[in-house]
C-alpha cells in the first residue's frame, strides 16, 4: 500500500487501472481478437498437421507402438511404382479439372451476369451440384456411368453412334480418368461461377461506359476491363479449387476406389488405403504429406503469376 | 434460402445442446453400469440376422443373467475404421466382429480367448482347420470365429443350358470355353476386377492358387510370385476377361456384379449367397434359374477365399470375464443354431457339428458353400498372418496384377511389378 498523501497526485496523472481501457489498447485488443482463432487453428489444424509429420517419420502399424525410422517411409514411397502413378494421376486430375472449371466458370459467370428472364432462379439452380452431398451425387453419377443403365450410352446407342453396350466409362483406364474429371468439374463449376459472378458485379459500369466511348469492342472490354479487375478473385477461387481438387477423396473413392489397376488412384485415396486398410499409419502419413510441398509450390507460383497489378 | 424463425432456432439450439450432452454422457453411463456390454457388428446383408441378435439373443441373455448387451451396427465397409478407432483409443465397444487378419493386426488390443475356443470346439464337433488360420496368433486364439461368408460361382442355369451345359464347368478351362459360347449368345460373364473389398479377391486368389501360384512361401519371407504358375494364371485371366466378360468389370466394386447379375447383364459371377437371396425376394422367376457352385479347379486343385467372421474382446473392456461369459453363451448350439438358421446359410459355420444341420436342407443350392469352406484360405496364404498381408490387400497388388494384364499389359511386366511391390512390402528387397 502506498502512503495516502500521494494518492490524489498519482490518480490525477495516471487514472486508476481500468480493465475496459486496458482491453482497448490496440496491442492488447488485437491479440485478444487473434488468440481464439489461433488456438482454434492450432488445435484443429496445427496439432494434426505436426502429428502427421511425426507419424510419417515412424514405423507405426495400427494398434502397436511405433518406432522412429527417419525418412524411411518417404524413401519407400520414392521406390514404389504406384506412388509415381499416383503423383501423375493427381497432377493430371487437378490440372485438367481446374482449367476446365476456370474457363467454364468464367464463361458461366459472364452469362449469369447478363439480364434475362428467370435470372435469379437460374442462379439458384446453378448451385445445386455444389449443395447436394458429394456422396449422393456421386452415386447418381455411378448410374450415369454404368453402361447397362447409362443414359449417355442409351442415347449413343439410340443414335447408332456406338454398338451396345457402348463405352465403359469407368472400366477403361483412360476413360475412367476423363469421367472422374467430368464429375469433378460438374461439381466444382458452380463454386467458380458464383464466386466469379460476385466479382463481376463489383465492377463499376462506368468503366465499361468509358471504355465503350473510347471505342473498345466487347472483347476489348473483357480483355482490358473485366479480366484485370477480376484477377484477384480468379486467384482466390483457383487457389481454393486447386486445394480441393488436389485432395479430392469422396468422389474417387465412391466411383472407382482408385481402379481400374490404379488408373485413378490419387494421393488421398492411396494414403487412406495404406493407413486404414493396410494399417500402416506411418506410410499413409508420409504419402499424404508429400502432397504438401507441390501444393505449396503451386500456390506460390499462382500467387506470383496472378498477383494483382499494383499500378492499376 | 432457408429461413428459421427465432423460436424454432432456439428450439433447435436447445435440442442440439441436449443431444450433445447426451452423447457426451452416454459412454460414462455405460461405464458406470457394471453389467452392460456392447457388441459391434457390420450391418448384415441379411437384416433378420441383426434383428435376431438385438431382439432375441440380447433379450434372452439379459433375462438370464441381468447383463444388458447392446448391439452397435456399423455400415458396410466401415468396420475396420471403427475397430481401429476403438483399439487405438482404448474406448468404445467391448466386443466386435473382426475379419481377415485383424486378430493379428490388433493382437495387442485383444484378449486371449483360447479357453473358450477350446471349450466350444469340444462341445460342437471340433473346429475347421482354417478357422484357426485367421484367429490364432502366436498360439493364442484372439477371436472366436463364428462364420465364413464364402464366395462361390453364381450362374444362370437356363443360359448355360442353352449353350449346352447342364452342370457348372469343373475346370477353369471348361469355364472359359463355356463363357465364350455364352458371350456369343449375348450372355457374357462378369467377375469383379476393380478395387472392391471382397468379390475381386473372392475369385482371383483362388484362381492364382489353383494354378499353383502364390505370393510368398510359408516362411513368410520368400517372394515366389514370379513363377510359371502365376504366368499361366495371368494369361488365363486375360483370356477370360477378353473373351467372356463385359469391359466394365475392370471398374467394378462389390455391388456391381450383384446389380449386373440381377439386371440380367451377366450369366456368371463370383459372389456370396447374396444374389440368390435377393433374387428369391425380388425376382422369384429369376431365382428359379440361378445356381451356385464351387470354384472351378485348376492344375493344382480347387480353392476358395476365406472370409472369416469372428468375435473378439477388446483389452480395454472393464470386465473381461463378463464379456467372455457372454461369448461362451453365444456360441452354445442353443443360441448359435437358431442364429445361423435365421440367415439360412449365408453364414457358414466353422464347427463340424453344423455340417449336417437342418439349415443345409432348406436350400440345397447352398450346399456348395458348406463344401467349399475346407478349401478356403486367406490372401497371403500359405504364409502366416502378417502386416504385410494387409498392406498387399490395401495396395491391391495381386488384384491389379491381373487387372493390368486385362488392360493389355504383358504377363512378364505385370508379374515383375507385383514382385517389386511384394518385395518392398515384405521388406525383402
CATH of the domain at B316: 3.40.190.10
Whether B23 is in a domain gets the answer no
Residues A230 and A118 in one domain: yes
Sign of CA dihedral B62, B67, B73, B77: negative
Contact A176 B390 (CB under 8 A): no
Q: Touching check for B193 and chain A: CB below 8 Å?
A: yes
Domain of residue A176, residue span = 74-305
Chain B residue with minimum CA distance to A76: B424
H or E element: which one contains A225?
none
Count of the separate structural domains present in chain A:
2
B285 CB-contact burial (10 Å; exposed 0-12 / middle 13-18 / buried 19+): exposed
Q: How far apart are CA B101 and CA B145, in angstroms?
A: 12
Same domain, A107 and A40: no
pLDDT digits (tens, 9 = 90+) for A213-270: 998 898 999 999 999 899 888 888 888 899 889 989 999 999 999 989 999 999 999 9
Segments forming the whole domain that contains residue B61: 29-142+307-369
Whether residue B213 is found in the same domain as residue B345: no
What is the per-residue pLDDT for A127?
Answer: 84
Q: Chain A within 8 Å of B263 (Cβ-Cβ)?
A: yes
Nearest to B251 by CA among B191, B202, B211: B191
B315 with B284, same domain? no
Enumerate the residues of chain A whose CB falls inside 8 A of the CB of residue B419.
Answer: none
Taking residues A140-146, report their average pLDDT: 91
Neighbours of A222 (CB within 10 A): 16
- B199 and B249 both lie in a single domain: yes
Residues A140 and A31 both lie in one domain: no
**A25 and A157, same domain (yes or no):** no
Of B369, B395, B410, the domain-final residue: B369
Give dist(CA B272, CA B260) in Å, integer: 15
Q: What's the rounded Cα separation, in Å, for the pair B168 and B155?
A: 8
Q: How confident is the model at residue A13, as a pLDDT? A: 60
Do B270 and B328 share a domain, yes or no? Answer: no
Whether residue A1 lies inside any domain: the answer is no
Residues from chain A that touch B252, judged by Cβ atoms under 8 A, are 171
Q: How many domains does chain B have?
A: 2
| Residue that has been written with the C-alpha cell 486375360 in this structure | B238
**Which of B326, B342, B369 delimits the end of a domain?**
B369
In angstroms, the separation between the Cα of residue B24 and the nearest Cα of chain A is: 19
Same-domain pairing of A85 and A42? no
The residue-averaged pLDDT of A112-133 equals 86
For this complex, say whether ipTM is above 0.90.
no
Q: Which residues of chain B have pLDDT under 50?
A: 1-10, 12-13, 16, 19-20, 22-33, 429
| B318 and B235 in a common domain | no
Question: Residues with Cβ < 8 Å from A249, sequence gap 6 or more?
Answer: A268, A269, A272
Tell me: do A241 and A105 sit in the same domain.
yes
* Domain shared by B127 and B246, yes or no: no
User: What is the nearest CA distance from A168 to chain B, expressed in angstroms?
Assistant: 5
Last residue of one domain, picked from the residues B330, B347, B369: B369
Let me know whether A126 and A270 are in one domain: yes
Determine the pLDDT at residue A147.
Answer: 84
Test A168 with B81 for CB contact under 8 angstroms: no
Q: Which residues of chain A are within 8 Å of residue B393 when distances are taken between CB atoms? A: 277-278
**pLDDT-based confidence at residue A166 (cuts at 50, 70, 90):** confident
CB spacing of A63 vs B105 below 8 angstroms:
yes
Determine the residue among A258, A279, A284 to mutate to test chain B binding: the one whose Cβ has the most chain B Cβ atoms within 10 Å.
Answer: A279
B404 touches A: beta carbon within 8 Å: yes
Nearest CA in chain A to B87: A63
Q: Same domain for B163 and B288?
A: yes
How far is residue B56's CA from residue B47's CA, in Å, rounded to a whole number?
Answer: 14
Amino acid at each position: 500500500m502506498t502512503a495516502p498523501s500521494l494518492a490524489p497526485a498519482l490518480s490525477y496523472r495516471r487514472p486508476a487501472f481500468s480493465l475496459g481501457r486496458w482491453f482497448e489498447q490496440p496491442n492488447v485488443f488485437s491479440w485478444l481478437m487473434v488468440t481464439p482463432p489461433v488456438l482454434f487453428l492450432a488445435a484443429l489444424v496445427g496439432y494434426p498437421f505436426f502429428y502427421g509429420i511425426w507419424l510419417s517419420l515412424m514405423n507405426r502399424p495400427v494398434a502397436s507402438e511405433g518406432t522412429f525410422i527417419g525418412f524411411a517411409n518417404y524413401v519407400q514411397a520414392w521406390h514404389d511404382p504406384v506412388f509415381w502413378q499416383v503423383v501423375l494421376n493427381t497432377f493430371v486430375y487437378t490440372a485438367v479439372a481446374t482449367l476446365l472449371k476456370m474457363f467454364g466458370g468464367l464463361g458461366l459467370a459472364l452469362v449469369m451476369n447478363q439480364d434475362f428472364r428467370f435470372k435469379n432462379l437460374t442462379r439458384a439452380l446453378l448451385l445445386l451440384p455444389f449443395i447436394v452431398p458429394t456422396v449422393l451425387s456421386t452415386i447418381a453419377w455411378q448410374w450415369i456411368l454404368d453402361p447397362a443403365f447409362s443414359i449417355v450410352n442409351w442415347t449413343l446407342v439410340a443414335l447408332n453412334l456406338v454398338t451396345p453396350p457402348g463405352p465403359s466409362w469407368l472400366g477403361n483406364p483412360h476413360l475412367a480418368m476423363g469421367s472422374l474429371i467430368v464429375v469433378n468439374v460438374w461439381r466444382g463449376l458452380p463454386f467458380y461461377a458464383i464466386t466469379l459472378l460476385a466479382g463481376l458485379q463489383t465492377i463499376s459500369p462506368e468503366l465499361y461506359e468509358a471504355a465503350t466511348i473510347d471505342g473498345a469492342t466487347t472483347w476489348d472490354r473483357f480483355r482490358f476491363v473485366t479480366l484485370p479487375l477480376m484477377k484477384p478473385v480468379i486467384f482466390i477461387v483457383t487457389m481454393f479449387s486447386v486445394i480441393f481438387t488436389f485432395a479430392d477423396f469422396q468422389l474417387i473413392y465412391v466411383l472407382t476406389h482408385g481402379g481400374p489397376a490404379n488408373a485413378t488412384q490419387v494421393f488421398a485415396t492411396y494414403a487412406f488405403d495404406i493407413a486404414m486398410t493396410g494399417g500402416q499409419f506411418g506410410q499413409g502419413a508420409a504419402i499424404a504429406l508429400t502432397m504438401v510441398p507441390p501444393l505449396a509450390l503451386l500456390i506460390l507460383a499462382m500467387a506470383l503469376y496472378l498477383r494483382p497489378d499494383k499500378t492499376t | 434460402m432457408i429461413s428459421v424463425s427465432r423460436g424454432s432456432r432456439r428450439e433447435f439450439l436447445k435440442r442440439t445442446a441436449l443431444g450433445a450432452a447426451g452423447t457426451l454422457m452416454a459412454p460414462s453411463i455405460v461405464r458406470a453400469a457394471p453389467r452392460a456390454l456392447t457388441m459391434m457388428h457390420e450391418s448384415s446383408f441379411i437384416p433378420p440376422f441383426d434383428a435376431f441378435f438385438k431382439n432375441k439373443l440380447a433379450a434372452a441373455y439379459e433375462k438370464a443373467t441381468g447383463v444388458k448387451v447392446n448391439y452397435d451396427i456399423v455400415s458396410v465397409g466401415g468396420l475396420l475404421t471403427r475397430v481401429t478407432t476403438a483399439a487405438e483409443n482404448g474406448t468404445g465397444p467391448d466386443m466386435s466382429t473382426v475379419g481377415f487378419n485383424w486378430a493379428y493386426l490388433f493382437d495387442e488390443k485383444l484378449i486371449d480367448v483360447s479357453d473358450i475356443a477350446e471349450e466350444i470346439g469340444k462341445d460342437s464337433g471340433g473346429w475347421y482347420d482354417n478357422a484357426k488360420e485367421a484367429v490364432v496368433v502366436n498360439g493364442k486364439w484372439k477371436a472366436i470365429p463364428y462364420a465364413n461368408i464364402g464366395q462361390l460361382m453364381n450362374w444362370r442355369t437356363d443360359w448355360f443350358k442353352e449353350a449346352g451345359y447342364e452342370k457348372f464347368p469343373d475346370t477353369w478351362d471348361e469355364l472359359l470355353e463355356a463363357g465364350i459360347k455364352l458371350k456369343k449368345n449375348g450372355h457374357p460373364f462378369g467377375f469383379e476386377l476393380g478395387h472392391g473389398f471382397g468379390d475381386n479377391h473372392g475369385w482371383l486368389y483362388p484362381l492364382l492358387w489353383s494354378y499353383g501360384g502364390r505370393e510368398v512361401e510359408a516362411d513368410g519371407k520368400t517372394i515366389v510370385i514370379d513363377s510359371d504358375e502365376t504366368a499361366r494364371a495371368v494369361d488365363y485371366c486375360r483370356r477370360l476377361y477378353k473373351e467372356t466378360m463385359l469391359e466394365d468389370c475392370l471398374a467394378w466394386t462389390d455391388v456391381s456384379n450383384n446389380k449386373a447379375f440381377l439386371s440380367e447383364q451377366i450369366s456368371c459371377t463370383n459372389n456370396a449367397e447374396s444374389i440368390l437371396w435377393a433374387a428369391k425376394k425380388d425376382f422369384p422367376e429369376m431365382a428359379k434359374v440361378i445356381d451356385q457352385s464351387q470354384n472351378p479347379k485348376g492344375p493344382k486343385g480347387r480353392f476358395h477365399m476365406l472370409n472369416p467372421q469372428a468375435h473378439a474382446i477388446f483389452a480395454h473392456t472393464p470386465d473381461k470375464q463378463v464379456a467372455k461369459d457372454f461369448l461362451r453363451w453365444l456360441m452354445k448350439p442353443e443360441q448359435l443354431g437358431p442364429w445361423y438358421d435365421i440367415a439360412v446359410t449365408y453364414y457358414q459355420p466353422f464347427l463340424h457339428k453344423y455340417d449336417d444341420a437342418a439349415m443345409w436342407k432348406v436350400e440345397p443350392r447352398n450346399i456348395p458353400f458348406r463344401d467349399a469352406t475346407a478349401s478356403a484360405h486367406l490372401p497371403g496364404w500359405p504364409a502366416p498372418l502378417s502386416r504385410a498381408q494387409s498392406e498387399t490387400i490395401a495396395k491391391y497388388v495381386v488384384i491389379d496384377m491381373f487387372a493390368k494384364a486385362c488392360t493389355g499389359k504383358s504377363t512378364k511386366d505385370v508379374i515383375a511389378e507385383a514382385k517389386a511391390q511384394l518385395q518392398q512390402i515384405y521388406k525383402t528387397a
